[in-house]
Chain A
Amino acid sequence: MTETEPKEFVASIDSDSRRTPVRVAFVTRRTSPQVRTHDDPYVMTFPEVLFRAATAVEALLLALALLSLFWDAPLEGLADPMQTPNPAKAPWYFLGLQELLHYFPPIVGGVLIPTLVVLALIVIPYFGINIETEGFWLKEPKKRMRALAIVVAALSVFLIVFEVWSVLVPTILIAGIMLLGASPAANSGFRKWLRMKPLSFWIMSWFLTVAIILTVIGTFFRGAGWALVWPWEA
């Protein structure tokens, strides 16, 4: 926050906006809008932004139209409640979830985890640690190392109990990458960059990696009876 010099002014109440064209801005630590001085150049929304946006949308439409000309949307036989396809798959964006259901009981994989994910997404900006945005290893590295070890170990035990190897591997991998930035002696550019990353970055990256891996497995590597198959065998 930038502190503004206090100025003298008279505050009064008047309903005639013509006569009193005075705007008052109370700037505190907790409220928007931000007041900041910068010397960035501005461009007018009309036409600069609008043309760019329209061009972008047109390019998208162009790409989708070409796709639609050469690749037909799937259509299978008439819906038949008596004929269950094997495997029956949800739309691709739910396949990560369906993959979880393979490992966990429905109450965990189908309700608890997605609810927690949505809640987590909503609270992200309100959650103190994200706003501080300090590098995870910058403060109290020993204490945080212990905390990380406990969390990763607990998570690993949980995943091993349910035999969720496809989540366990990226979890350990990301914890390993985190450790690369742990040492203050680390002086390569990459490791310095890792050192500066806050906890929220790590959690989100872990979530994104796991979500992509689960979705890819569910989409391409699951065949009859939800058994693992190669995509070309399915």
Chain B
Amino acid sequence: MSLRESIHSARRFLFGDSARAFGSVSAVLLVVLAVVPARDHFREWLHYQNEYQNLIRNRRDGVSLARRFQGGVQQVWLPQLGVVDRCGTCHVAMKEVSLAGIAPQPFHPHPPIPHSLTEFGCVMCHRGQGAATTVAEAHSSTLSWENPVLPARYTESSCGECHEQPLTGTPRLDDGRDLLAQYGCVRCHKVASPEGRTIAPSDHPPGLKHVAEKTSREWIFAWIKNPQSYASSARMPNFQLSDADARDISAFLISQSTPYLPEADQKIPPIPAAAGADAVQQGASVYGEAFCASCHAMQNAAGLMVGGNVGTELTRVGSKVKPEWLAQWIRNPGIYSPRTVMPHYRLEPKNIGLIMSFLGSKTDSDFLSNVHLDPATAEQIAHGKRLVTEKGCASCHDINGVPHPDNFAPDLSAVGSLQLSKIVFLPGMPHTLPDYISAKIRNPHSFGNALKMPQFTLSDSQVESLVTALLAQTTRATTLPAALRMPAPAPSTYEPAGSAGELIKDLRCFSCHKINGRGGDMAPDLTWEGSSVQRAWLVNFLKAPNTLRPALIRRMPKFDLSDEEANTLADYIETVYQTPAFDRNEIDAAKLGASDAAHGKDLFYGKYACNSCHIVDPNKDKGYIGPTLTQVGLRLNAAWIFHWLKNAQALRPGTMELNWNMNDDDARAITAFLMQQKAAAKGASK
């Protein structure tokens, strides 16, 4: 039979009449329909579950792993959160700690976290599409689900959707939120919590209403052209101004400046910088003794930055400020800038002169050498004012005649929920939200020169932190059940009273110390300080602070307080800042026995190994983390030590001290031992 004939007969057999055709088509249809359920056996998750079972089969703990393994689609359903979470269908080993580091993904066990999987599911933190059971749909951004799984380095941002307060587990998020405040991002952008609370800026951009008194037009020109060329640590962003724009802005800023000194202060004779061969050297010592470096940084001869980052960098300050202004500023900074965080030192004119000559020597001849400005014309000044208004300078700085702009930049309160379809990505950049935000922060001008956002100087890790903090700003956060929200407490408006209160404000104690919830966290919380320290020690310390923690660079400055001022402050602290938890005199140190002390010494070096962090015998102990305890018997009250040893966190939340939960006998013994430590303080008493 030829091929043609056989095809012909096959056709006759299959489609010869209508019944045969019906039968043939039915057969094919049945085969195709049978493929449909068969396809269910090739689903991705089934493949992973089979792989997992092969993986555990030959392990020693395979039997118990297999017993805990549950096949089929695994689902966490949280209707209140709108979460249907099927990640566990493939990630079957999330609770199998024994597989850590052994099994490949998707079989990694989950590291321990404070939340339970059944309570929150996976997508609350990692985002992605929880309902999906395929790798692509669950993890990536698809047509039906825009929000992909967050890269692991940004996972902390999801913590921030509920938690507003810093957490030990979220350093990146907390850092990012601090940066938003420190770099003044929130001065232009609104970043509000679902409760409507905005992040408050924590930077201190100087007011410019009297700027001509402080510096020259040339310096302003050079500074606004490139702030980082003056001080590498400067936070002011680079606006990438042309020479003409910088010339006009500097002209306007000088022209709007007004005198700042009240008449009374103008009568005080100006203090000249100290002259003489070793004036600079002596000025450096005064600068050191006053612990200016606790706040101000300076590049040393080796090019290393030394000092704190609260105040401005002073490496080239001699090229910046005018001597008359500097003298007045050091004498009392509050006069020029009432909101400054710099304390009012009680320095003698002689010392002010010495500091001035030291700072005056900190110049950089190159910085202003190329700046030559002709006298400003009225046109330039007008143009400068327009530029200052356009660029939003008044968002940060007080400027005469330029009001603070409202809603200058886009509201970022929900930037973490920005729709990808609404974003114009740069060519070649990955189409994800984190990539977009970080590119925007890194280089705003790459998105077009019309953008007003200036160029900030930020490290990669700072950008990552900022992105983390911004990704926490989602609309999902606003729809969460109220019970899940962990908002930060309202900021404290605590004001100390009386003449001591005036002193506390004048000395800007809140710049570093926290009292009743108000203030910085650079130095110890003083809310219960009155229960803690002995009065005699406190008075001495206020007058001449010595070093409690040898490992720290930042130290309490020496304000040169008078006896009266020191006593006023000490009285106030002793009376007002007492804990209600115990009476500070409830343990009489004199009645603690010598045998107790000996036992306490054993416990100190033995059972509790306190010497790991603290020093009692400077010749022997090597603990540099906690405060030195050589004179703790003169410093602290016995009752405080006793309760501190029992539960330090109750007295000072967040302290590094461990919670020993000591029994009364041990605590009493160690207290007795510590109250014996009364080594003469060096330089404590004059």
B35 touches A58 (CB 8 A): no
User: Which of B139-147, B278-286, B547-555, B644-652 interfaces with chain A?
Assistant: B139-147
A51-92 at interface with B (beta carbon < 8 Å): 51-52, 54-55, 58-59, 61-62, 65-66, 69, 74-77, 83, 85
Instruction: Point out the residue from A51, A65, A75 that lies within 8 Å of B29, measured CB to CB.
Output: A65
* Interface check A225, CB cutoff 8 A: no
Distance of A76 Cα from B32 Cα, bound (Å): 28
B25 touches A77 (CB 8 A): no
B145 touches A52 (CB 8 A): no
* Interface check B36, CB cutoff 8 A: yes
* Interface check A48, CB cutoff 8 A: yes
A58 touches B29 (CB 8 A): yes
Chain B residues whose C-beta falls within 8 Å of the C-beta of A41 in the assembled complex: none
0/1 per residue, B108-152, Cβ < 8 Å to A? Answer: 000000000000000000000000000000000001111000000
Chain B residues whose C-beta falls within 8 Å of the C-beta of A58 in the assembled complex: 22, 25-26, 29
B54-85 at interface with A (beta carbon < 8 Å): none
B residues contacting the other copy or chain, number (CB 8 A)? 19
A65 touches B21 (CB 8 A): no
A77 touches B22 (CB 8 A): no
Contact A75 B143, CB 8 Å, known A55-B18, A65-B33, A69-B39: yes
Instruction: Point out the residue from A62, A66, A76, A83 that lies within 8 Å of B144, measured CB to CB.
Output: A76
Instruction: Point out the residue from A51, A69, A83 that lies within 8 Å of B21, measured CB to CB.
Output: A51
* Interface check B19, CB cutoff 8 A: yes
Chain B residues whose C-beta falls within 8 Å of the C-beta of A51 in the assembled complex: 18-19, 21-22
Distance of A128 Cα from B152 Cα, bound (Å): 75
* Interface check A21, CB cutoff 8 A: no
Chain A residues whose C-beta falls within 8 Å of the C-beta of B575 in the assembled complex: none
Distance of A177 Cα from B419 Cα, bound (Å): 51
Distance of A75 Cα from B145 Cα, bound (Å): 9
Chain A residues whose C-beta falls within 8 Å of the C-beta of B681 in the assembled complex: none
Residue from B29, B35, B143 whose CB has the most chain A CB atoms within 10 Å: B29
Distance of A47 Cα from B19 Cα, bound (Å): 8
Distance of A47 Cα from B145 Cα, bound (Å): 51
> Which single residue of chain B is at the shortest CB-CB distance from A74?
B143
Chain B residues whose C-beta falls within 8 Å of the C-beta of A48 in the assembled complex: 18
* Interface check B28, CB cutoff 8 A: yes
* Interface check B663, CB cutoff 8 A: no
Chain A residues whose C-beta falls within 8 Å of the C-beta of B2 in the assembled complex: none
B27-54 at interface with A (beta carbon < 8 Å): 28-29, 32-33, 35-36, 39
Chain B residues whose C-beta falls within 8 Å of the C-beta of A55 in the assembled complex: 18, 21-22, 25
* Interface check B421, CB cutoff 8 A: yes
> Which single residue of chain A is at the shortest CB-CB distance from B19?
A51
Distance of A51 Cα from B15 Cα, bound (Å): 12
> Which single residue of chain B is at the shortest CB-CB distance from A69?
B35
A47 touches B26 (CB 8 A): no
CB B482 to nearest CB in A, in angstroms, measures 22
B28 touches A62 (CB 8 A): yes
CB B108 to nearest CB in A, in angstroms, measures 29
> Which single residue of chain A is at the shortest CB-CB distance from B147?
A77
Residue from A47, A48, A77 whose CB has the most chain B CB atoms within 10 Å: A77
Distance of A140 Cα from B70 Cα, bound (Å): 85
A77 touches B145 (CB 8 A): yes
Residue from B18, B28, B29, B143 whose CB has the most chain A CB atoms within 10 Å: B18
If over half of A's interface residues share one DSSP class (helix, strand or loop), that class is named, otherwise mixed; here it is: helix
CB B268 to nearest CB in A, in angstroms, measures 62
A65 touches B144 (CB 8 A): no
B32 touches A65 (CB 8 A): yes
Instruction: Point out the residue from B19, B25, B419, B421 that lies within 8 Å of A62, measured CB to CB.
Output: B25
Contact A54 B144, CB 8 Å, known A61-B29, A62-B32, A69-B39: no
Distance of A129 Cα from B28 Cα, bound (Å): 48
Instruction: Point out the residue from B19, B22, B144, B421 that lies within 8 Å of A75, measured CB to CB.
Output: B144
Distance of A65 Cα from B29 Cα, bound (Å): 9
CB A69 to nearest CB in B, in angstroms, measures 7
Distance of A47 Cα from B20 Cα, bound (Å): 12
Instruction: Point out the residue from A47, A54, A69, A76 that lies within 8 Å of B36, measured CB to CB.
Output: A69
Chain A residues whose C-beta falls within 8 Å of the C-beta of B26 in the assembled complex: 58
CB B138 to nearest CB in A, in angstroms, measures 15
Distance of A126 Cα from B390 Cα, bound (Å): 72
0/1 per residue, A25-67, Cβ < 8 Å to B? Answer: 0000000000000000000000110011011001101100110
0/1 per residue, B144-186, Cβ < 8 Å to A? Answer: 1110000000000000000000000000000000000000000
0/1 per residue, B624-655, Cβ < 8 Å to A? Answer: 00000000000000000000000000000000
CB B415 to nearest CB in A, in angstroms, measures 16
Chain B residues whose C-beta falls within 8 Å of the C-beta of A66 in the assembled complex: 32
Distance of A52 Cα from B21 Cα, bound (Å): 8
Distance of A61 Cα from B29 Cα, bound (Å): 8
CB B37 to nearest CB in A, in angstroms, measures 12
Distance of A59 Cα from B421 Cα, bound (Å): 41
CB A86 to nearest CB in B, in angstroms, measures 8
Distance of A77 Cα from B146 Cα, bound (Å): 7
CB A53 to nearest CB in B, in angstroms, measures 9
Distance of A47 Cα from B21 Cα, bound (Å): 13
A83 touches B22 (CB 8 A): no
Distance of A66 Cα from B144 Cα, bound (Å): 23
Distance of A76 Cα from B137 Cα, bound (Å): 12
A54 touches B146 (CB 8 A): no
Distance of A65 Cα from B28 Cα, bound (Å): 11
Chain B residues whose C-beta falls within 8 Å of the C-beta of A75 in the assembled complex: 143-144
Chain A residues whose C-beta falls within 8 Å of the C-beta of B32 in the assembled complex: 62, 65-66, 69
A62 touches B18 (CB 8 A): no
> Which single residue of chain B is at the shortest CB-CB distance from A51?
B18
Distance of A90 Cα from B26 Cα, bound (Å): 37
CB B429 to nearest CB in A, in angstroms, measures 20
B29 touches A62 (CB 8 A): yes
A52 touches B18 (CB 8 A): yes
Distance of A76 Cα from B420 Cα, bound (Å): 14
Chain B residues whose C-beta falls within 8 Å of the C-beta of A83 in the assembled complex: 419, 421
Chain B residues whose C-beta falls within 8 Å of the C-beta of A76 in the assembled complex: 143-144
A47 touches B18 (CB 8 A): yes
Distance of A59 Cα from B32 Cα, bound (Å): 11
Chain A residues whose C-beta falls within 8 Å of the C-beta of B22 in the assembled complex: 51, 54-55, 58
Chain A residues whose C-beta falls within 8 Å of the C-beta of B421 in the assembled complex: 83, 85
Ordered by A's residue number, 7 sampled pairs between the chains whose C-beta atoms are within 8 Å are: A65-B33, A69-B35, A69-B39, A75-B143, A77-B146, A83-B419, A85-B421
The 8 closest A-B pairs by CB, nearest first: A51-B18, A58-B25, A55-B22, A75-B144, A51-B22, A62-B29, A55-B21, A65-B32
Known A-B contacts: A47-B18, A47-B19. Give 10 more (CB < 8 A).
Answer: A48-B18, A52-B21, A55-B21, A62-B25, A62-B28, A62-B29, A69-B39, A75-B144, A77-B143, A77-B144
